[in-house]
Structure 1
Amino acid sequence: SAVTIISSKLAEMNNLHVGDTFALKNDFYYYDYENGEEELINSRDLVLEVIGIFESQVVKENIEEDFDGGYIDWMDIEYQNTLYVPNKIVSAENAFQFEQTLTVEPEFAEMYEEEGGSFDYYIPTFVLNTHEDIEAFSEEAIPLLPQLYTVISSGDHYHNISGPIESMSKLSNYVLIAAVFATILIIGLVVLLFLRDRKHELGIYLSLGERRGRVIGQILIEVLVTAFVGITLSLFSGNFLASQLSDTMLKVDDNSAYEDYDYYFQSGLTTDDAIDSYEVTLDANYVLIFYGVGMVTILISTLIPLVYIVRLNPKKILM
């Protein structure tokens, strides 16, 4: 039956109530590319009875308007003007438009007959209760789909965004491991050269009866204070560089991977919104781990040559 459910705003603006009927025009226009004019070929009325009214809810908090008046406002207008009708009504009206196309496009009509008169395809949208059901829904739906049909979910946005991030995370882990070993080796050699220049100073301390532990502590404090300043500077500069690098990777992935999804998903969340919501931040746990790994690495790098020096006899050091 020709029934529909409309929004409360649409009902209010047109003074419609449950049980009322109204007519929509289904016009078919043909655009003539030669003279650049559009001509009305055919038209018919679709009479619908209102059997329900719904309230549209669109989240508008913390969303800035764009240059043309607000993307979310446009989405709200679209929802307010959405009519929910039976699938048969939609199919019948689409069939009317398609039939009119065949009358004005002889070449297309001939190709349609050659293909056996089967150009129909559908893009249904299913709204699930939670994103956790997406994977299970896809696994059950895919075997039931006709040939060439597939399931595209909003979760695919996340997978496309997380792909370069996960690859960057693996790469950074390998770089971190290599950097730790390289740091131990390089700083160990630097500290060794540093201690060689101060070898006589250390020998004098030891020959005067200074305890080895205090000598080691003095050198460690000097090195660790310098290392603390360097780690602090690298923490913030590294965070800035990581943010710039991740933004570049996401934008490159956005240009190459998201073009296909905008056609299927008409929602308030755009690809740009998803990218803008991603940011590189420093939490307390990460900062503590960063300082811990850095200071331990410096400590190991310093102790290895330092222990070797202080274990020598003061006379040998001074010779």
Structure 2
Amino acid sequence: MNFLKRAGKSIIARKGKTLIMLIILSVIGSLVLSGFAIQNAAKSAGEEARKELGATVTLQVDRQKQMQERQASGERGRPEQQEISLEEIEAIAKRSEVKSVNYLSQATATSGSVDPVTSEAADTSDSQGPGAMEMPEGMTTPDFSLNGVTSMELLATYTAGTLKMVDGEALTAESPENSVVIDENLAAENELNVGDTIKITATTTAQSQKLTIIGLSTSTEATSDAGFRAAGFMDAMNQMYVANDTLGQFATEDGQVSLSSAVYSLNDPASIAAFKKEAQLAASDLDWDTYVLDANDAAYQKMVGPIEQVASFSKSVVYLVSIAGGLILALLILLSVRERRKEMGILLAMGEKRSKLIEQLLVETFAIAAVAFLITYATGGMTSQFMTDQLLNREVTEAASSVTTQTGFGGPGGPGQQLLNSIPQITEMTTKIEWTTLIQVAEIGSLIVLLSVLLPAIALLRMNPKEILLRED
């Protein structure tokens, strides 16, 4: 009788052990398959989060680090504004990953012919009341914020839809010199239209410039009355958009552009990490202790924090189940082989080769593993989705508790809960069983079966038939 027939009869004859082994292999397969499926789902969710945030990286002064250093040294107040030299960062824009770049600058201005938009509360309150901004001696209180841009269409508020054009055209690199875009409410207050000319004066240099309105915008951003009293010029209705070169001509002493930040739009969100690393090498002269490349990392981590925890846990599950399952299976096979010592000894005495006996054990175990694999495949989608839902719900709940604890305000509707709700989090993941995942499970399962059979079998079959039979209890 060849070893294949013996393997088949052995599987049928040992129904109890076959069933136990089938259950163990099915559990191992289901958990490993779920682990890989969860990791793939987490990776896909992370990529979607990056796409949602946009493939943009902003070069700016590391304000958080500045504040921490000032607090550590006992200094108070806001750090001095630091501009970025255009020459120092042009090399970054030349990298192949960059699709477009938007250089941003800022200034403030007043105007003798254009009145800023004010709130009713601000009009009826004392200008020196609570929250009012007090300007240093010698400086003029600004009426407007001037935003120097390369293109309005590259602004995050524009792409997100919170800033829109209602008349005329948005400011771009192709716009005529000395063009300006103002808010439709500011235009209505002053009876201005597209094509009109306004004259504004920079508060930093007291130089004036005539600008031609090429477009009217609207913003969904709202400012409270307290905010208006404190800094009405920062409200969206009192903000103007001009070209960087235009702003530099009259708002700086030397007429050169002084950038507050640079926003790089990349071709692929997946290249953000590599771009940040390479950009520091491309602009090696830049003080990277002062500046930082921000790719909305805080928002990204908030969005994908729970799913990364789930992916990390599932990875640990794969390792733990593979090792523990392999050891349990090896122990079960070892006990089975010891029970069959007489059978093995007689077959060896009859001239059967040791390799054939090992092949018989492998065929038996792999046959059971094949059935277990089919069970895993049939139930894998449901199992992996159930595990994903349970784990993700737990992580989201823990994240909510963490925010509430950190803010010091508990309870539903408290500031901690409001903060959590204001940040978009990924609370759902859909797992898919792909062929690559099944191949991974099959490879791990085959390795576990192979080691579980070979180790105990070789330990027994290295003895000669007489020794095996004499050891029979």
Return the match for 2:397 from 223, 248, 252: 252
Which deviations, in whole Å up to 9, do the C-alpha atoms of 1:13-53 show, x marking residues without a partner? xxxxxxxxxx9699xxxxxxxxxxxxxxxxx955341359x
Residue number in structure 2 paired with 1:163: 305
| C-alpha RMSD over aligned residues | 5.2
- CA distance, structure 2, for counterparts of residue 143 and residue 214 of structure 1: 70
Question: What is the CA deviation profile of residues 150-179 of structure 1, one whole-angstrom value per residue up to 9, with x for unaligned ones?
Answer: x99755332123323333333333443333
Q: Residue in 2 aligned with 1:291?
A: 442
Aligned length: 225
Q: Percent identity?
A: 21
**Structure 1 residue runs without a partner (length 5+):** 10-22, 27-43, 53-81, 103-117, 145-150, 264-269
Q: Which has the higher contact order (CA 8 A, sep 6+)?
A: 2
Q: What are the Cα deviations for residues 175-204 of structure 1, in whole angstroms up to 9, with x where unaligned?
A: 433333323322121101111222222222
Aligned to 1:302: 453
**What residue is the counterpart of 1:183 in the other structure?**
325
2:330/2:453 contact within 8 Å kept: yes
Deviation string for 1:230-276 (max 9, x for gaps)?
Answer: 3454461652343223541464367566953876xxxxxx937x545
Question: 2:328 is aligned with what amino acid?
Answer: I
- Aligned letter for 1:47? E
Tell me the equivalent position of 2:34.
Answer: none
Distance 2:394 2:233 in 1: 35
Which of residues 417, 424, 438 is equivalent to 1:271?
424
The aligned amino acid for 1:211 is K
In 2, the alpha carbon distance for the partners of 1:250 and 1:187 equals: 32
* TM alignment of 1:116-131, pairs within 5 A: 118=230, 122=234, 129-130=265-266
What residue in structure 1 maps to residue 67 of structure 2?
A: none
Task: Verify the 8 A CA contact 1:161 1:253 in the aligned structure 2.
Answer: no
CA gap of 1:296–1:238, structure 2 versus 1, over 3 A, is farther
Tell me, in whole angstroms, the C-alpha distance in 2 between the residues paired with 1:189 and 1:225: 18
Q: Would you say 1:208 and 2:359 are equivalent positions? A: no
Residue type of the alignment partner of 1:129 = S
Which ranges of structure 2 fall in alignment gaps of 5 or more residues?
A: 1-112, 116-163, 169-183, 197-214, 237-261, 280-285, 404-416
CA distance in structure 2 between the partners assigned to 1:253 and 1:301 by the alignment: 39
Please give the secondary structure, in 1, of the residue aligned with 2:351: coil
Q: Do 1:204 and 1:314's aligned partners in 2 also have CA atoms closer than 8 Å?
A: yes
Q: 1:289 corresponds to which letter in structure 2?
A: Q
Task: Give the CA deviation at 1:284.
Answer: 2.9
Distance 1:223 1:94 in 2: 70
Q: Give the SS at the match of 2:356.
A: helix
User: 2-side partners of 1:226 and 1:8: how far apart?
Assistant: 72
After alignment, is 157-166 or 216-225 more displaced? 157-166
CA distance in 2, matches of 1:121, 1:253: 41
Deviation at 1:303, TM superposition (A): 0.8
Asked if the contact 2:223–2:235 (Cα under 8 Å) also holds between the matched residues in 1, the reply is no
Change (3 A) 1:304 1:7: same
**In 1, Cα distance between equivalents of 2:226 and 2:458:** 87
- Using structure 1 for the length normalisation, give the TM-score: 0.51
Once residues 374 and 299 of structure 2 are traced to their aligned partners in structure 1, the CA distance between those partners, rounded to angstroms, is: 35
- Alignment CA distance shift 1:281-1:253 (3 Å): farther
1 CA distance for matches of 2:307 and 2:235? Answer: 31
Alpha-carbon spacing, 1:297–1:123, altered in 2? closer, same or farther (3 Å): farther
How far residue 98 of structure 1 moved from its aligned partner, in angstroms, is 6.2
